[in-house]
Amino acid sequence: MHNLKERYGTVTVALSGELDHCNASKIRRQLDDLLADEDILRLCLDLSDLTFMDSSGIGVLLGRLRILEQRGGSLAVKNMSQPIAKLFHLTGLQRVIQVENDKTGGRL
């Protein structure tokens, strides 16, 4: 997990490797440590280097979404690989987590 940039209450974090039952708790703790700063209202996850995600990873995303929504914020993802995009489609995650256009940063 790499914190790429922080700007006006928005933080972009790059996730890499696998987000599964083996490392979900570690990623969850790192994201929660980041979100302890209540000035962060928007978290954007760059998933370009994420190769796999299972239900534990989905739980990590939904939990961070809940934290952000409780403070009036939001969660977005961008740069999904085809397998991750398929997982989002099959589970309906794109209906609750904003998916940004890779090039412009706008919502798809």
**pLDDT at position 2:** 58
CATH number at residue 77: 3.30.750.24
Largest separation between any pair of C-alpha atoms in the chain: 33
**pLDDT at position 8:** 75
Whether 63 is covered by a domain: the verdict is: yes
Whether 12 is covered by a domain: the verdict is: yes
Domain count of the fold of the chain? 1
Taking only the tens place, the pLDDT of each residue in 25-72 is: 999 999 999 999 999 999 999 999 999 999 999 999 999 999 999 999
Taking only the tens place, the pLDDT of each residue in 5-23 is: 566 789 999 999 999 999 9
Whether 104 is covered by a domain: the verdict is: no
Containing structural domain, residue 55: 2-99
Whether 106 is covered by a domain: the verdict is: no
More confident: 84 or 106:
84
Q: Find tokens 């790499």 and name the residue.
A: 2
**pLDDT at position 105:** 46
